[in-house]
Chains A and B, each alone.
Chain A
Protein backbone atom coordinates (compact mmCIF):
# COMPACT_ATOMS: atom_id res chain seq x y z
CA UNK A 1 0.00 0.00 0.00
CA UNK A 2 1.33 3.40 -0.86
CA UNK A 3 1.29 6.32 1.55
CA UNK A 4 -1.18 8.30 -0.56
CA UNK A 5 -3.70 5.43 -0.24
CA UNK A 6 -3.72 5.59 3.54
CA UNK A 7 -6.94 6.19 5.42
CA UNK A 8 -7.96 9.37 7.21
CA UNK A 9 -7.94 7.33 10.45
CA UNK A 10 -4.27 6.53 9.88
CA UNK A 11 -3.46 10.19 9.29
CA UNK A 12 -5.31 11.00 12.53
CA UNK A 13 -3.34 8.37 14.48
CA UNK A 14 -0.12 10.05 13.37
CA UNK A 15 -1.50 13.50 14.21
CA UNK A 16 -2.51 12.20 17.66
CA UNK A 17 0.91 10.67 18.24
CA UNK A 18 2.48 14.12 17.76
CA UNK A 19 0.65 15.30 20.90
CA UNK A 20 3.02 13.20 23.05
CA UNK A 21 6.24 14.20 21.30
CA UNK A 22 8.95 15.09 23.79
CA UNK A 23 6.72 14.52 26.86
CA UNK A 24 9.30 12.25 28.52
CA UNK A 25 8.44 9.96 31.43
CA UNK A 26 4.70 10.51 31.74
CA UNK A 27 1.89 7.98 31.45
CA UNK A 28 0.45 8.27 27.94
CA UNK A 29 -3.25 7.38 28.00
CA UNK A 30 -5.23 7.30 24.77
CA UNK A 31 -8.91 6.46 25.25
CA UNK A 32 -10.44 4.91 22.12
CA UNK A 33 -8.65 3.22 19.20
CA UNK A 34 -7.21 6.32 17.46
CA UNK A 35 -5.76 8.07 20.57
CA UNK A 36 -4.52 4.73 21.90
CA UNK A 37 -2.80 3.87 18.63
CA UNK A 38 -1.41 7.40 18.57
CA UNK A 39 0.10 7.01 22.03
CA UNK A 40 1.53 3.60 21.13
CA UNK A 41 3.01 4.98 17.91
CA UNK A 42 4.57 7.88 19.84
CA UNK A 43 6.25 5.45 22.23
CA UNK A 44 7.52 3.21 19.43
CA UNK A 45 8.93 6.09 17.38
CA UNK A 46 9.80 9.57 18.65
CA UNK A 47 9.20 9.36 22.43
CA UNK A 48 10.23 5.96 23.86
CA UNK A 49 10.39 7.39 27.40
CA UNK A 50 6.58 7.43 27.57
CA UNK A 51 4.98 5.09 30.07
CA UNK A 52 1.90 3.11 29.17
CA UNK A 53 -0.42 0.51 30.68
CA UNK A 54 -1.97 -2.60 29.20
CA UNK A 55 -5.37 -0.98 29.78
CA UNK A 56 -5.86 -2.95 32.98
CA UNK A 57 -3.20 -2.70 35.70
CA UNK A 58 0.31 -3.26 34.35
CA UNK A 59 2.88 -0.90 32.85
CA UNK A 60 4.29 -2.22 29.59
CA UNK A 61 7.29 -1.22 27.48
CA UNK A 62 5.81 -2.85 24.36
CA UNK A 63 2.40 -1.24 23.70
CA UNK A 64 -0.31 -3.90 23.65
CA UNK A 65 -2.16 -4.26 20.33
CA UNK A 66 -5.80 -3.18 20.08
CA UNK A 67 -8.50 -5.87 20.10
CA UNK A 68 -8.59 -9.59 20.82
CA UNK A 69 -5.33 -11.17 21.96
CA UNK A 70 -4.20 -13.62 24.61
CA UNK A 71 -4.94 -12.36 28.14
CA UNK A 72 -1.35 -12.89 29.23
CA UNK A 73 0.29 -11.60 26.02
CA UNK A 74 1.38 -8.37 27.68
CA UNK A 75 4.73 -8.37 29.40
CA UNK A 76 4.60 -6.33 32.59
CA UNK A 77 7.47 -3.96 33.30
CA UNK A 78 5.66 -2.28 36.17
CA UNK A 79 2.41 -2.00 38.05
CA UNK A 80 -0.10 0.83 37.90
CA UNK A 81 -3.57 -0.37 38.93
CA UNK A 82 -6.54 1.97 39.45
CA UNK A 83 -5.86 1.70 43.19
CA UNK A 84 -2.59 3.65 42.65
CA UNK A 85 -3.51 5.70 39.65
CA UNK A 86 -4.47 8.98 41.31
CA UNK A 87 -1.49 9.05 43.66
CA UNK A 88 1.06 7.94 41.07
CA UNK A 89 -0.02 9.42 37.77
CA UNK A 90 -2.80 12.00 38.12
CA UNK A 91 -2.09 14.04 41.25
CA UNK A 92 1.63 14.11 40.54
CA UNK A 93 1.03 15.51 37.06
CA UNK A 94 2.85 12.59 35.42
CA UNK A 95 0.34 11.89 32.71
CA UNK A 96 -0.88 13.08 29.34
CA UNK A 97 -4.33 11.78 28.48
CA UNK A 98 -6.19 12.09 25.19
CA UNK A 99 -9.94 11.65 25.48
CA UNK A 100 -13.08 12.16 23.37
CA UNK A 101 -15.59 14.30 25.26
CA UNK A 102 -19.20 14.69 24.14
CA UNK A 103 -19.00 18.49 24.17
CA UNK A 104 -16.11 21.00 24.03
CA UNK A 105 -16.48 24.78 24.38
CA UNK A 106 -14.27 27.71 23.42
CA UNK A 107 -12.53 27.62 26.82
CA UNK A 108 -11.52 23.98 26.36
CA UNK A 109 -14.04 22.92 29.00
CA UNK A 110 -15.53 19.52 28.25
CA UNK A 111 -18.61 17.53 29.19
CA UNK A 112 -18.97 13.82 29.84
CA UNK A 113 -21.81 14.05 32.38
CA UNK A 114 -25.15 14.78 30.72
CA UNK A 115 -26.77 16.60 27.79
CA UNK A 116 -29.79 18.86 28.12
CA UNK A 117 -32.28 19.06 30.96
CA UNK A 118 -30.84 19.57 34.43
CA UNK A 119 -28.51 18.04 36.97
CA UNK A 120 -31.61 16.66 38.69
CA UNK A 121 -33.19 15.30 35.52
CA UNK A 122 -30.95 15.26 32.47
CA UNK A 123 -32.32 14.73 28.99
CA UNK A 124 -29.46 12.35 28.19
CA UNK A 125 -27.49 10.85 31.05
CA UNK A 126 -23.90 9.97 30.15
CA UNK A 127 -21.08 8.33 32.08
CA UNK A 128 -20.48 10.91 34.76
CA UNK A 129 -17.39 13.06 35.13
CA UNK A 130 -15.09 10.05 35.65
CA UNK A 131 -11.57 11.42 36.28
CA UNK A 132 -11.97 14.56 34.16
CA UNK A 133 -12.01 17.16 36.98
CA UNK A 134 -8.78 15.81 38.47
CA UNK A 135 -7.08 15.09 35.15
CA UNK A 136 -7.74 18.60 33.86
CA UNK A 137 -6.39 20.44 36.91
CA UNK A 138 -3.32 18.24 37.36
CA UNK A 139 -1.86 17.00 34.09
CA UNK A 140 -1.58 17.52 30.35
CA UNK A 141 -4.67 16.74 28.30
CA UNK A 142 -5.50 16.54 24.61
CA UNK A 143 -8.68 15.64 22.77
CA UNK A 144 -9.71 13.55 19.80
CA UNK A 145 -12.93 14.33 17.93
CA UNK A 146 -13.94 11.81 15.25
CA UNK A 147 -16.77 14.01 13.94
CA UNK A 148 -16.16 17.77 13.98
CA UNK A 149 -19.55 19.48 14.41
CA UNK A 150 -21.37 22.33 16.12
CA UNK A 151 -23.11 19.81 18.36
CA UNK A 152 -19.71 18.95 19.81
CA UNK A 153 -17.94 22.31 19.59
CA UNK A 154 -20.79 24.18 21.23
CA UNK A 155 -21.61 27.85 20.98
CA UNK A 156 -21.90 28.68 24.69
CA UNK A 157 -20.52 26.72 27.61
CA UNK A 158 -20.83 22.94 27.69
CA UNK A 159 -24.00 21.66 29.44
CA UNK A 160 -22.05 20.46 32.47
CA UNK A 161 -18.41 21.41 32.95
CA UNK A 162 -16.73 18.05 33.67
CA UNK A 163 -13.19 19.29 33.09
CA UNK A 164 -11.38 22.55 33.79
CA UNK A 165 -10.54 24.81 30.88
CA UNK A 166 -9.33 28.37 30.50
CA UNK A 167 -12.58 30.10 31.51
CA UNK A 168 -11.61 32.98 33.84
CA UNK A 169 -15.17 33.22 35.18
CA UNK A 170 -14.83 29.74 36.69
CA UNK A 171 -11.57 30.34 38.53
CA UNK A 172 -11.90 31.19 42.21
CA UNK A 173 -9.38 33.58 43.81
CA UNK A 174 -6.54 31.71 45.50
CA UNK A 175 -7.14 28.49 43.57
CA UNK A 176 -4.11 26.93 41.90
CA UNK A 177 -4.77 26.33 38.22
CA UNK A 178 -1.13 26.15 37.18
CA UNK A 179 -1.55 22.47 36.25
CA UNK A 180 -4.18 23.17 33.59
CA UNK A 181 -2.34 22.33 30.36
CA UNK A 182 -4.48 21.66 27.30
CA UNK A 183 -2.38 20.78 24.26
CA UNK A 184 -4.11 19.73 21.04
CA UNK A 185 -7.48 18.81 19.61
CA UNK A 186 -7.25 16.40 16.68
CA UNK A 187 -10.48 16.19 14.66
CA UNK A 188 -11.50 14.55 11.40
CA UNK A 189 -10.98 17.97 9.73
CA UNK A 190 -7.99 19.63 11.36
CA UNK A 191 -5.56 19.95 14.25
CA UNK A 192 -6.05 22.75 16.79
CA UNK A 193 -4.20 23.95 19.86
CA UNK A 194 -4.77 26.45 22.67
CA UNK A 195 -2.10 28.87 21.49
CA UNK A 196 -4.45 31.72 20.62
CA UNK A 197 -5.02 34.91 22.58
CA UNK A 198 -5.77 34.02 26.24
CA UNK A 199 -5.49 30.33 25.34
CA UNK A 200 -8.10 30.63 22.61
CA UNK A 201 -8.49 27.59 20.36
CA UNK A 202 -6.45 28.03 17.19
CA UNK A 203 -6.35 25.95 14.03
CA UNK A 204 -2.78 24.84 13.31
CA UNK A 205 -3.18 22.48 10.36
CA UNK A 206 -5.87 21.34 7.95
CA UNK A 207 -6.15 17.75 6.74
CA UNK A 208 -5.69 17.22 2.98
CA UNK A 209 -8.57 18.71 0.99
CA UNK A 210 -10.18 20.48 3.98
CA UNK A 211 -10.77 24.25 3.89
CA UNK A 212 -10.81 26.62 6.85
CA UNK A 213 -14.38 27.60 5.87
CA UNK A 214 -15.44 23.96 6.35
CA UNK A 215 -13.89 23.95 9.81
CA UNK A 216 -15.50 27.26 10.78
CA UNK A 217 -18.88 26.04 9.49
CA UNK A 218 -18.65 23.00 11.79
CA UNK A 219 -17.60 24.92 14.91
CA UNK A 220 -19.95 26.75 17.29
CA UNK A 221 -17.43 29.43 18.25
CA UNK A 222 -14.83 31.62 16.62
CA UNK A 223 -11.50 30.00 15.81
CA UNK A 224 -8.18 31.80 15.69
CA UNK A 225 -6.11 31.34 12.54
CA UNK A 226 -2.58 32.75 12.24
CA UNK A 227 -1.42 33.13 8.63
CA UNK A 228 -1.33 30.32 6.08
CA UNK A 229 -2.21 26.91 7.45
CA UNK A 230 -0.05 23.90 6.64
CA UNK A 231 -1.54 20.57 5.60
CA UNK A 232 -1.49 17.85 8.26
CA UNK A 233 1.29 15.45 7.22
CA UNK A 234 0.52 12.04 5.78
CA UNK A 235 1.89 9.00 7.62
CA UNK A 236 5.22 7.57 6.49
CA UNK A 237 5.61 3.96 5.33
CA UNK A 238 7.29 3.17 8.62
CA UNK A 239 4.45 4.66 10.65
CA UNK A 240 1.83 2.79 8.60
CA UNK A 241 3.66 -0.49 9.19
CA UNK A 242 3.75 0.10 12.95
CA UNK A 243 0.05 1.06 13.02
CA UNK A 244 -0.86 -2.11 11.12
CA UNK A 245 1.04 -4.19 13.66
CA UNK A 246 -0.58 -2.42 16.63
CA UNK A 247 -4.06 -2.84 15.17
CA UNK A 248 -4.13 -6.31 13.60
CA UNK A 249 -7.96 -6.47 13.56
CA UNK A 250 -8.26 -3.07 11.83
CA UNK A 251 -10.33 -1.37 14.53
CA UNK A 252 -9.14 1.93 13.09
CA UNK A 253 -11.34 1.34 10.05
CA UNK A 254 -14.45 1.71 12.24
CA UNK A 255 -13.62 5.09 13.80
CA UNK A 256 -14.50 7.50 10.97
CA UNK A 257 -17.80 6.91 9.18
CA UNK A 258 -17.18 5.15 5.86
CA UNK A 259 -13.42 4.86 6.62
CA UNK A 260 -12.50 7.52 4.01
CA UNK A 261 -9.00 7.85 2.54
CA UNK A 262 -6.74 10.62 3.82
CA UNK A 263 -6.71 12.12 0.32
CA UNK A 264 -10.01 12.06 -1.57
CA UNK A 265 -9.66 9.91 -4.71
CA UNK A 266 -10.60 12.62 -7.23
CA UNK A 267 -7.85 14.91 -5.95
CA UNK A 268 -5.11 12.29 -6.36
CA UNK A 269 -3.05 13.16 -9.42
Chain B
Protein backbone atom coordinates (compact mmCIF):
# COMPACT_ATOMS: atom_id res chain seq x y z
CA UNK B 1 0.00 0.00 0.00
CA UNK B 2 1.92 3.00 -1.28
CA UNK B 3 -0.10 5.73 0.38
CA UNK B 4 0.12 4.15 3.81
CA UNK B 5 3.88 3.84 3.42
CA UNK B 6 4.13 7.51 2.48
CA UNK B 7 2.08 8.57 5.50
CA UNK B 8 4.19 6.41 7.83
CA UNK B 9 7.44 7.79 6.40
CA UNK B 10 6.11 11.32 6.86
CA UNK B 11 5.19 10.67 10.45
CA UNK B 12 8.44 8.85 11.21
CA UNK B 13 10.60 11.64 9.77
CA UNK B 14 8.68 14.56 11.26
CA UNK B 15 8.04 13.04 14.67
CA UNK B 16 11.69 12.02 15.04
CA UNK B 17 12.97 15.41 13.94
CA UNK B 18 10.54 17.15 16.28
CA UNK B 19 11.51 14.91 19.19
CA UNK B 20 15.23 15.50 18.73
CA UNK B 21 14.82 19.23 18.10
CA UNK B 22 12.55 19.54 21.15
CA UNK B 23 14.98 17.85 23.50
CA UNK B 24 17.90 19.97 22.32
CA UNK B 25 15.88 23.19 22.20
CA UNK B 26 14.38 22.76 25.67
CA UNK B 27 17.66 21.77 27.27
CA UNK B 28 19.21 24.91 25.76
CA UNK B 29 16.25 27.18 26.41
CA UNK B 30 16.07 26.62 30.18
CA UNK B 31 19.60 27.79 31.09
CA UNK B 32 19.35 30.46 28.39
CA UNK B 33 16.25 31.94 30.03
CA UNK B 34 17.67 32.22 33.53
CA UNK B 35 21.27 33.22 32.92
CA UNK B 36 22.51 36.59 31.79
CA UNK B 37 25.54 36.70 29.58
CA UNK B 38 27.23 38.96 27.10
CA UNK B 39 25.89 37.76 23.78
CA UNK B 40 22.46 36.72 25.02
CA UNK B 41 20.49 39.30 23.02
CA UNK B 42 22.56 38.70 19.88
CA UNK B 43 22.04 34.93 20.04
CA UNK B 44 18.35 35.45 20.63
CA UNK B 45 18.10 37.77 17.62
CA UNK B 46 19.94 35.29 15.41
CA UNK B 47 17.74 32.39 16.53
CA UNK B 48 14.70 34.61 15.98
CA UNK B 49 15.74 35.34 12.39
CA UNK B 50 16.54 31.67 11.77
CA UNK B 51 12.88 30.91 12.49
CA UNK B 52 12.16 32.35 9.07
CA UNK B 53 14.78 30.22 7.30
CA UNK B 54 13.32 29.06 3.98
CA UNK B 55 13.25 25.23 3.89
CA UNK B 56 14.97 25.10 0.49
CA UNK B 57 17.94 27.03 1.86
CA UNK B 58 18.19 24.60 4.76
CA UNK B 59 17.84 21.78 2.24
CA UNK B 60 20.68 23.17 0.16
CA UNK B 61 22.97 23.59 3.18
CA UNK B 62 22.31 20.05 4.41
CA UNK B 63 22.69 18.74 0.84
CA UNK B 64 26.13 20.31 0.50
CA UNK B 65 27.24 19.05 3.92
CA UNK B 66 26.02 15.47 3.37
CA UNK B 67 27.02 15.19 -0.29
CA UNK B 68 29.96 12.86 -1.03
CA UNK B 69 32.09 15.94 -1.68
CA UNK B 70 30.89 17.61 1.50
CA UNK B 71 32.43 17.44 4.97
CA UNK B 72 30.15 14.59 6.10
CA UNK B 73 30.09 12.71 2.79
CA UNK B 74 31.70 9.66 4.40
CA UNK B 75 28.53 8.90 6.31
CA UNK B 76 26.53 8.12 3.14
CA UNK B 77 23.51 9.93 4.48
CA UNK B 78 22.33 11.91 1.44
CA UNK B 79 19.00 10.70 0.01
CA UNK B 80 18.06 8.80 3.18
CA UNK B 81 15.32 9.43 5.74
CA UNK B 82 18.08 10.36 8.19
CA UNK B 83 19.10 13.25 5.96
CA UNK B 84 15.51 14.45 5.97
CA UNK B 85 15.38 14.19 9.76
CA UNK B 86 18.56 16.25 10.05
CA UNK B 87 17.27 18.97 7.72
CA UNK B 88 13.90 19.22 9.45
CA UNK B 89 15.51 19.08 12.87
CA UNK B 90 17.78 22.04 12.05
CA UNK B 91 14.85 23.87 10.50
CA UNK B 92 12.61 23.68 13.56
CA UNK B 93 15.27 23.85 16.27
CA UNK B 94 15.28 27.69 16.33
CA UNK B 95 11.48 27.76 16.26
CA UNK B 96 11.08 25.57 19.33
CA UNK B 97 14.00 27.27 21.07
CA UNK B 98 12.76 30.84 20.57
CA UNK B 99 9.14 30.03 21.39
CA UNK B 100 10.16 28.16 24.55
CA UNK B 101 12.45 30.97 25.69
CA UNK B 102 9.68 33.48 25.05
CA UNK B 103 7.27 31.42 27.15
CA UNK B 104 9.43 30.57 30.15
CA UNK B 105 11.68 33.64 30.36
CA UNK B 106 9.40 35.50 32.76
CA UNK B 107 8.57 32.73 35.20
CA UNK B 108 11.85 30.82 35.18
CA UNK B 109 13.75 33.04 37.69
CA UNK B 110 10.90 32.79 40.22
CA UNK B 111 10.75 29.03 39.95
CA UNK B 112 14.53 28.87 40.24
CA UNK B 113 14.53 30.97 43.41
CA UNK B 114 11.79 28.91 45.04
CA UNK B 115 13.35 25.64 44.01
CA UNK B 116 16.78 26.46 45.42
CA UNK B 117 15.20 27.94 48.56
CA UNK B 118 13.49 24.63 49.22
CA UNK B 119 16.80 22.84 48.86
CA UNK B 120 16.51 21.53 45.32
CA UNK B 121 19.42 21.13 42.92
CA UNK B 122 19.73 21.92 39.21
CA UNK B 123 18.15 18.60 38.22
CA UNK B 124 15.12 19.32 40.38
CA UNK B 125 14.87 22.77 38.90
CA UNK B 126 15.03 21.47 35.33
CA UNK B 127 12.33 18.94 36.08
CA UNK B 128 10.21 21.51 37.87
CA UNK B 129 10.35 24.12 35.14
CA UNK B 130 9.50 21.63 32.43
CA UNK B 131 6.67 20.36 34.57
CA UNK B 132 5.36 23.83 35.37
CA UNK B 133 5.53 25.05 31.77
CA UNK B 134 4.29 21.85 30.16
CA UNK B 135 1.49 23.63 28.34
CA UNK B 136 3.71 26.37 26.94
CA UNK B 137 6.38 23.89 25.88
CA UNK B 138 3.75 21.74 24.18
CA UNK B 139 2.67 24.77 22.17
CA UNK B 140 6.24 25.35 20.98
CA UNK B 141 6.68 21.69 20.11
CA UNK B 142 3.40 21.67 18.16
CA UNK B 143 4.52 24.69 16.14
CA UNK B 144 7.76 22.91 15.33
CA UNK B 145 5.98 19.74 14.31
CA UNK B 146 3.54 21.61 12.07
CA UNK B 147 6.41 23.28 10.28
CA UNK B 148 8.28 19.96 9.91
CA UNK B 149 5.45 17.90 8.50
CA UNK B 150 4.21 20.59 6.10
CA UNK B 151 7.60 21.51 4.66
CA UNK B 152 8.51 20.29 1.18
CA UNK B 153 11.63 22.12 -0.03
CA UNK B 154 14.19 20.60 2.30
CA UNK B 155 12.97 17.00 2.22
CA UNK B 156 12.71 17.08 -1.58
CA UNK B 157 16.32 18.21 -1.85
CA UNK B 158 18.01 15.97 0.70
CA UNK B 159 15.60 13.04 0.51
CA UNK B 160 15.29 12.89 -3.27
CA UNK B 161 11.63 11.78 -3.23
CA UNK B 162 12.60 8.11 -3.68
CA UNK B 163 9.61 5.84 -3.98
CA UNK B 164 9.07 3.60 -0.97
CA UNK B 165 12.03 5.14 0.84
CA UNK B 166 12.11 8.91 1.14
CA UNK B 167 8.79 9.84 -0.44
CA UNK B 168 6.69 11.75 2.08
CA UNK B 169 3.27 13.35 1.82
CA UNK B 170 4.46 16.77 0.71
CA UNK B 171 6.88 15.50 -1.95
CA UNK B 172 4.22 13.06 -3.16
CA UNK B 173 1.82 15.99 -3.60
CA UNK B 174 4.45 17.94 -5.52
CA UNK B 175 5.18 14.97 -7.79
CA UNK B 176 1.56 14.06 -8.49
CA UNK B 177 0.76 17.70 -9.21
CA UNK B 178 3.62 17.83 -11.69
CA UNK B 179 2.20 14.74 -13.36
CA UNK B 180 -1.21 16.36 -13.55
CA UNK B 181 -2.83 13.91 -11.11
CA UNK B 182 -4.57 16.59 -9.11
CA UNK B 183 -6.99 14.10 -7.61
CA UNK B 184 -4.36 11.94 -5.89
CA UNK B 185 -2.47 15.06 -4.85
CA UNK B 186 -5.57 16.52 -3.28
CA UNK B 187 -6.46 13.33 -1.41
CA UNK B 188 -3.02 13.21 0.19
CA UNK B 189 -3.29 16.93 0.87
CA UNK B 190 -6.47 16.35 2.83
CA UNK B 191 -4.89 13.46 4.73
CA UNK B 192 -1.96 15.74 5.59
CA UNK B 193 -4.36 18.35 6.92
CA UNK B 194 -6.29 15.76 8.90
CA UNK B 195 -3.11 14.40 10.49
CA UNK B 196 -1.89 17.86 11.49
CA UNK B 197 -5.31 18.54 12.93
CA UNK B 198 -5.36 15.25 14.85
CA UNK B 199 -1.89 15.74 16.31
CA UNK B 200 -2.83 19.24 17.36
CA UNK B 201 -5.92 17.96 19.12
CA UNK B 202 -3.89 15.27 20.90
CA UNK B 203 -1.27 17.74 22.06
CA UNK B 204 -3.86 20.26 23.16
CA UNK B 205 -5.84 17.70 25.08
CA UNK B 206 -2.65 16.67 26.87
CA UNK B 207 -2.05 20.30 27.71
CA UNK B 208 -5.63 20.79 28.82
CA UNK B 209 -5.59 17.87 31.23
CA UNK B 210 -2.37 19.04 32.87
CA UNK B 211 -3.74 22.51 33.57
CA UNK B 212 -6.90 21.09 35.04
CA UNK B 213 -4.92 19.02 37.51
CA UNK B 214 -3.44 22.18 38.91
CA UNK B 215 -6.76 23.95 39.21
CA UNK B 216 -8.34 21.03 41.05
The answer to whether A and B belong to the same complex is no
Hey, which bits of chain A sit against chain B, CB under 8 A? none
| Chain B residues packing against A (C-beta within 8 Å) | none
